[in-house]
């Protein structure tokens, strides 16, 4: 490893002894060898840092907090300790595929206007079996408006120029959703993208933040989205912002006819105001709105049957998904949103006609 490695891979950990060594091992097996692995232990009490140190790899450094300071502080410690030209993130319960860094380096070299890229992510279920994948939009013109509704990045796949990411610290007022906050801030001044490849695998388990801190997540998302909505001159009320957060992830709650009616009018207003303000690429926003509306339609089918689903499908908000640009998105992101499994086999991605649980 050189004094200035090509990649600094940062792993933050708090009491994840059972998975952190596998995460670090997946980084040690990268086809790009000139890397350092910075493991930030955020006050673990279960032996996590000792387990990492036992790997005895000179490329691995453990930086320790004397107490638990939270995810944003741990991420910032990792950024301060990193010496590489590129920053790569990996959560302590996830895995990087062996060619991840090689593929992402090539992507950024081929696209010098892009400062950060993510990738699609495979899913590892609670029993260790792979269960489909998370896919999303890829182009910067599609990513920025998608972030108006929900994150379109997998944090464990994020890879970018250290000179840019190192200047964008994580804000401590976001103990959750700190990644979405950073992506939104980056997208205002830089071009960021996703790669249409599965380069990481994410574990699903009961201890994940999204399951433990749902109320705080909604609050922090509201804090992120309200200024974005105000920038469009929408003058949102508190209830508007709460509903906006809700339609960004409708699968976790009841979608009634009142919410559907509000959402159709609200999304139409967002598009109209953007036509005036030109903050987002209009085609990219059309696709983002179409995806949100499709998610709502699917959620309404689950709770109110096919009649509500049919009414939602008749909305003009879905039309952008049917045009030439939208069909490209449909071939990538839409299958996963519909619940279709997508797997990677021998380097070739194929659709498998099997529904996966959401």
Q: Is the pLDDT of residue 343 over 80?
A: no
Q: How far is CA 198 from CA 123, 194, 272, 316, 342, in A?
A: 10, 10, 35, 32, 10
What distance in Å separates the CA atoms of residue 153 and residue 147, rounded to the nearest whole number? 9
What distance in Å separates the CA atoms of residue 330 and residue 351, rounded to the nearest whole number? 12
Q: How confident is the model at residue 28 (pLDDT cuts 50, 70, 90)?
A: very high
The pLDDT tens digits for 176-196 are: 999 999 999 999 999 999 999
The pLDDT tens digits for 306-331 are: 666 677 778 899 888 776 555 555 55
What distance in Å separates the CA atoms of residue 305 and residue 100, rounded to the nearest whole number? 42
Q: Is the pLDDT of residue 18 over 80?
A: yes
Q: What is the mean pLDDT of residues 80-95?
A: 97
What distance in Å separates the CA atoms of residue 220 and residue 177, rounded to the nearest whole number? 7
Taking the whole predicted model, whether its pTM rises above 0.85 is answered as: yes
Token pair of 345 as six digits:
């086999």
Q: Is the pLDDT of residue 333 over 60?
A: no
Question: What pLDDT score does 181 carry?
Answer: 97
Q: Give the CA dihedral 54, 56, 57, 59, nearest 10 degrees.
A: 80
Q: Is the pLDDT of residue 208 over 60?
A: no
Question: What pLDDT score does 307 carry?
Answer: 64
Question: What pLDDT score does 26 carry?
Answer: 98
What distance in Å separates the CA atoms of residue 60 and residue 20, rounded to the nearest whole number? 13
Q: How confident is the model at residue 251 (pLDDT cuts 50, 70, 90)?
A: confident
Q: How far is CA 139 from CA 136, 187, 282, 290, 328, in A?
A: 10, 12, 13, 16, 11
The pLDDT tens digits for 110-167 are: 999 999 999 999 988 766 556 678 888 899 999 999 999 999 999 999 999 999 998 8
Percent of the chain with pLDDT over 90: 68
């Amino acid at each position: 490893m050189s004094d200035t490695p090509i990649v600094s891979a940062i792993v933050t950990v708090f009491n994840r002894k059972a998975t952190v060594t596998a995460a670090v091992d997946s980084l040690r097996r990268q086809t790009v060898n000139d890397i350092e692995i910075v493991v930030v232990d955020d006050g673990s009490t279960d032996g996590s840092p000792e387990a990492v140190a036992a790997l005895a790899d000179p490329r691995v450094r453990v930086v320790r907090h004397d107490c638990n300071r939270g995810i944003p502080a741990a991420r910032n410690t990792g950024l301060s300790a990193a010496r590489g030209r590129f920053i790569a993130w990996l959560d302590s319960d996830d895995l990087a595929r062996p060619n991840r860094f090689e593929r992402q380096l090539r992507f950024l070299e081929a696209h010098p206007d892009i400062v950060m890229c993510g990738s699609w992510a495979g899913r590892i279920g609670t029993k260790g079996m792979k269960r489909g994948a998370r896919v999303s939009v890829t182009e910067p013109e599609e990513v920025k408006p998608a972030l108006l509704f929900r994150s379109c990045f997998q944090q464990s796949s994020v890879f970018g120029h250290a000179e840019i990411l190192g200047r964008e610290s994580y804000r401590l007022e976001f103990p959750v959703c700190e990644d979405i906050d950073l992506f939104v801030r980056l997208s205002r001044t830089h071009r960021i993208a996703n790669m249409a490849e599965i380069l990481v695998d994410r574990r699903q388990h009961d201890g994940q933040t999204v399951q433990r801190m749902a109320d705080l997540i909604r609050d922090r998302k509201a804090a992120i989205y309200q200024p974005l909505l105000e920038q469009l001159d929408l003058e949102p009320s508190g209830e508007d912002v709460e509903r906006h957060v809700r339609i960004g992830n409708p699968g976790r709650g009841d979608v009634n006819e009142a919410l559907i009616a509000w959402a159709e009018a609200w999304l139409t207003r967002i598009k109209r105001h953007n036509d005036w303000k030109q903050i987002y690429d209009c085609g990219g926003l059309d696709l983002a709105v179409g995806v949100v509306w499709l998610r709502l339609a699917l959620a309404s089918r689950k709770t109110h049957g096919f009649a509500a689903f049919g009414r939602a499908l008749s909305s003009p908000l879905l039309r952008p998904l049917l045009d030439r640009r939208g069909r490209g998105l449909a071939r990538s992101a839409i299958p996963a949103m519909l619940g279709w499994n997508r797997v990677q086999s021998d380097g070739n991605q194929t659709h498998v006609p099997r529904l996966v649980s959401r």
